[in-house]
Amino acid sequence: MSKSGIGQVICRLKDRLFFVAHFVRTFIRKIVRDRAIEGLPSRTYLQTVLLPDIAAAGCQRMLFVGVRSYNLAFYRHCEALKIAVWSIDSDPTAAEYGAPNGHFIGDVRQICALTAGLTFDVIIFNGILGFGINTAQDAIAAFDAMAKVAEPNSLILIGWNPGLTDGREIAALRPRLKPALLGSVSADIEFPAHGRAQRYPHRYEIFTFGEEKL
């Protein structure tokens, strides 16, 4: 092989090595980030305290709004508690992290057009205010759509970040819902910010939809 030929092979090898190193670095960063998020006190509380209470309240069909790779462990906890989970996310690339019973690609504000009559007895609406549903008007539209697929007296858990949003979204929803008593836990609880994995406080508020189906 000529000198220039060897030079070209070395250049191609360098390019490939650079590509592989970049891929491995991105993959490792994602795993580290996911583990950090999964281990947050607010997430641990959701999985080990709220979820068993949701199961004890008799909930068996959950709609999980918004999916990311760090939610996969959450589905396993639900499965262990015999809660069937469906999910929705407007981002098509998030579909690979969809829930085991079914995933809808679309905006939660159009959920009733996607579920073909399926209804839910609990909705987890965590990390959506300020991450796509960003105004009081958006929040009311999301509530109206979710209420159509929520069974009478079903639960909705809203997790949101004071400081990330100005609180107007949740304020628009509170008058439309009733605070729920879930086992021994309070209807709302707040966790402080926790390093890079959670830059703002995280607050959970638990409500019931009304008795009447909308």
Ligand X SMILES: C[S@@+](CC[C@H](N)C(=O)[O-])C[C@H]1O[C@@H](n2cnc3c(N)ncnc32)[C@H](O)[C@@H]1O
Residues in contact with ligand X by CB under 6 A are 65-68, 71, 88-91, 94, 107-109, 126-128, 131-133
> How far apart are CB 49 and ligand X at their closest, in Å?
16
**Considering the complex, what minimum distance in angstroms separates the CB of residue 16 from ligand X?**
32
Q: Which is nearer to ligand X, 106 or 210 (CB)?
A: 106
Q: In angstroms, what is the minimal distance from the CB of 209 to ligand X?
A: 18
Extended strands (E) in the chain: 61-65, 84-89, 102-105, 120-126, 150-160, 178-179, 188-191, 202-208
Least distance to ligand X, CB of residue 64, Å: 7
Least distance in angstroms from the C-beta of 26 to ligand X:
18
Closest-CA residue to 84 (of 44, 45, 122): 122
* For ligand X, the closer CB: 71 or 208: 71
- Considering only CA atoms, which of 153, 145, 134 is closest in space to residue 206? 153
CA angle 199, 106, 114 (to 5 degrees): 135
Q: Which residue is nearest to ligand X (CB)?
A: 132
CB-nearer residue toward ligand X: 52 or 106? 106
Residue 81: which of 46, 109, 113 has the closest Cα? Answer: 46
Minimum CB distance to ligand X smaller for 161 or for 208: 161
Closest to ligand X by CB, 63 or 177: 63
Distance CA 115, CA 104 (A): 8
Residue with tokens 């999985």: 47
